[in-house]
Structure formats: C-alpha cells, structure tokens
Structure 1
C-alpha cells in the first residue's frame, strides 16, 4: 500500500512540475518515480500518513482564503510566532506532509522543529511557526490565528 502511495505521490509531483498530462509525459514520470530511490520503512502505519495527506489537501483552500484576506487587508498586517504540535508518529514522510500543509499558507514559515519534554504530555515535537496575518480593524481585539495544538 505504501509503495503504491509513494509512486502515486511522486507521479503527482512530476505532473505538477512539468504541467503536462499527456501519455508520454505520464509514462516518463512513472519511470522516474520507479527509478528514484525509496527509503525503507518497516511497519510504517498508514493512518498517520492518510491524516497528514488530508490535512495537506484541506490546507489548499484555506491558503487561498488567507491570501484573499491578506489582499483585502490592504497593507495592514501583523506578525506572530506560534507553536504547533507535531504528529505523534514523526516519520519523515509525515513530517514532510505536515510542513507542506503549514507552509502552503501565504506568509507562513516553519522556523524550527523542537523536542519538548513535558510532565503532563510526555516527550513530543513542536513546530515553531512565524506567520503574517491581516491586522485587526480598529476596535477589534487582535486574534492569534489558530491556537497551538
């Protein structure tokens, strides 16, 4: 299952890079996807991977909405820095998809991935995120965007 997903994802990236969907390009892209080396992960669970893919797909329309909000703000923006809890299963592919979902948002950068030792939640990773958001209109309280998870 993971091999099929990996090949499909590589082929999708190929199509996005080339912008062509004709038969020759798809066959060449499939050949490149097969020839690229793959990391060998034994026993990798599919559920966290599918969750990360879902978050990445949801992030696309959210990114368009936030881009429109920044355009409408007309130069009134403010910066903030937040933290976002990383997935409990931090395989390289899941981390990549989480980073993709975060950075699809306009003017958002992941600054760091830090390991946090907490007595309540235990040991986990958190992303430090820098964001540019539309500034609140006069008389409104500033919002910090999404709350840290």
Structure 2
C-alpha cells in the first residue's frame, strides 16, 4: 500500500513541477514515477503515511492563521533550531516532513542532516523583557 502512496507522491511532485494535465504529460509522469529508483529496504508503515498526510491537512488552517498573524503583528526575531526527524522515515516521508515545515509562513527547513535532524529557521515575535 505504501508503494502506491510513494507513486502518488512522485506524480504529485511531477504535476506541481510541470503544471500540465494533458494526456501526454500524465503518461510521461507515470513513466517517470515508475522509472525513478526506489528502495525496497525501508518500508514505511501505512500509519506513518496517513499521519503525515493528516498533518498536511491540518497545516492548511495553521498556514492561514500564521499569515494573518505576520501581517498584523510584526515578527522581528529569527531563530534557527534543530528538530529531530521521527524514527523510521523513508525518503518520501522525509520529503513530506520538510514540505510540512516549509508550508507554514513562519518556518522553513534550511538543511536536512543525514544523522536525523532538520535545521529549521523560524520567525517569531520578540519577547517582551
């Protein structure tokens, strides 16, 4: 089942890159998604995929809230933090994690460290002292 989710993720990325839903482009996208190398060693649990997809759905309202917050309340402090990658993450799930973090206006992933950390840049309101 997770193989299908991986294929769908690759197709979604293809359509985001090309922005073309013609029959020829769909055939090319399916071909590219099937021809890209994939690892059978690391199998992601369906539960992990569903959790990641649910977090993306829940990030939509959060992104709008943060965008409005930034417009009306200045965020002048910048912080770079390290966040731990959840265990047993396949490359597809790591991509979804990075997409999720970067989707919200206040955060962006600067770097993925191979030893299991994301370097995340965030803007926040200055603490009153």
- The 5-angstrom pairing of residues 54-65 of structure 1 reads 54-65=54-65
Higher helix share: 2
Corresponding residue of 1:45: 45
Structure 1 segment 103-114 matched on structure 2, within 5 A: 103-111=102-110, 113=113
Residue 72 (structure 1) aligns with: 72
Structure 2 unaligned spans of 5+ = none
- In the superposition, the TM-score normalised over structure 2's length comes to 0.74
Match of residue 122 from structure 2: 131
Q: What's the C-alpha RMSD, in Å, of the aligned pairs?
A: 2.7
Give the distance between the partners of 1:9 and 1:128, measured in 2 at CA: 23
Aligned-pair distance for 1:127?
A: 4.0
**Which of the pair has the greater relative contact order for Cα pairs under 8 Å at 6+ separation?**
2
Normalising to structure 1: TM-score of the pair?
Answer: 0.66
Instruction: Could you tell me which runs of 5 or more consecutive residues in structure 1 were left unpaired when the two chains were aligned.
Output: 116-124, 143-149
Structure 1 pair 22–41 and aligned structure 2 pair: CA distance change class (3 A): same
Q: Deviations over 1:99-144 (max 9, x none)?
A: 22111122423356596xxxxxxxxx554532113x37xxxx76xx
